[in-house]
Amino acid sequence: MRISQRFVTVTIAAAVAFSVVPAIAQAQEKDDEHHQQVREIAKEVVAEIRDMPDYGAFDWINPRLLEGGTVMLTGSVARARLKTDITGVLEKIDGVNNVINNLIVLNESRADIETRARVYNSIYRTYLSDYSPYLPGQGPMGQTDSHGGAHPIHILVSDGQVALMGWVKSEEDKQTATLATERTAGVSKVDNQLVVVPETSQ
């Protein structure tokens, strides 16, 4: 019996198709697994930064996970020790092979330290008290917190100039944060980079 060339061609095409489909599926699974691993590493990096004892309202660290398990850090910190310590902490994370630490250490003058506390108090205790991560009666002037941990609004002060980083629930609150900062003694300039995130989107 003679088999037509067309039949052979179709049969070969079908065989190739059946062999390629599992390979594509396998590659997709590997790709999904890789992305999942990257997401898990990124989540752990963020968690480690947030839980650093010295990390708080006066710091802003922006981690970026690059190829090959490299973490790049940008942003500003109020204490030189935090910049030094964080590299060692992140290098211990499984999957992190290198840390590029581009953090800027802000001015640690007495004037700026006092300005940070005043701006914090103005924002979290007076103008936007509902954003405070602490219980009523606590706060920097209540001597029961050290401004540590995650905050919706971060306050970066250098030579009297203040940058506000983080999020607020409305444009009105963003403007209020600017007003609260401008009215604080020791502040010469305000750069409000807060992102508006409506409550329904949080």
Q: What is the pLDDT of residue 3?
A: 47
Specify whether 116 is located in the same domain as 186: yes
| Domain housing 59 | 44-105
Task: Give tens-digit pLDDT for 93-148.
Answer: 999 999 999 999 998 899 999 999 999 999 998 999 888 875 444 444 343 445 77
Specify whether 180 is located in the same domain as 156: yes
Specify whether 123 is located in the same domain as 172: yes
Report the residue count for the chain.
Answer: 202
User: For residue 85, what pLDDT band results from cuts at 50, 70 and 90?
Assistant: very high
Consecutive H or E run containing 155? strand 153-158
pTM of the model: 0.75
Q: How far is CA 128 from CA 72, 80, 119, 144, 186, in A?
A: 32, 29, 11, 19, 20
Specify whether 129 is located in the same domain as 172: yes
Q: What is the pLDDT of residue 29?
A: 57
The number of distinct structural domains making up the chain is 2
Report if residue 25 sits inside a domain: no
Specify whether 76 is located in the same domain as 122: no
